Amino acid sequence: MTSLRNRFYDGMRSPSARSIAAEHATVQGFEHLRGHKYCVLVTYKRTGEAVPTPVWFGLENRTIYIRSEANAAKVRRIGNDPRVRVAPCDVRGKPLGPPAEGRARILGEPFEEARAEAALQANYGLGRRLYERVAAADSVYLEIASA
């Protein structure tokens, strides 16, 4: 099921999402994401190839939080290389602003996960809660700090 869903998302991704990887990071921090519902998260394969993924996010202070399936490729890539880029985007990953660089890590402590969930809820509310129930799987929270 996860593989089929990932193929669907890959197929609907905007071709322009990859442009964020080549663009110079022109902003510091993540305030430019405020007011947006999606950001394109660029993670890196071991080969250095950039992989863009539109994601829902929460923003608290100067930190971004994302929830993902634990076995998602982006989580494995972050485990290997914590460098990321983020930029505001539409649901398909089409960039709506400049990229910023950050460093990601997988959260493991319950108090960290609670903070991440609170940030996500503040940005989405009921719609996200319903989606997460339907799409519930073994999940992890990711934290991205400004580089």
pLDDT digits (tens, 9 = 90+) for 2-61: 566 566 666 667 888 888 888 888 899 999 999 999 999 999 999 999 999 999 999 998
Q: What pLDDT does 17 receive? A: 85
Q: What pLDDT does 11 receive? A: 64
Q: What confidence tier does 107 reach under pLDDT thresholds 50, 70, 90?
A: very high
Across 131-138, average pLDDT: 64
Domain boundaries, the chain: 2-146
pLDDT digits (tens, 9 = 90+) for 61-95: 899 999 999 999 999 999 999 999 999 999 999 99
Which among 48, 101, 29, 104 is positioned nearest to 72, based on CA atoms?
104
CA distance 57 to 125: 12
3-class state of residue 47 by DSSP = coil
Which class is 2-146 in CATH? mainly beta
Decide if pLDDT at 144 tops 70.
yes
What is the value of pTM for the model shown? 0.87
User: Rounded to the nearest 10 degrees, how much is the dihedral formed by the CA atoms of 10, 136, 110, 36?
Assistant: 50
Q: What pLDDT does 54 receive? A: 95
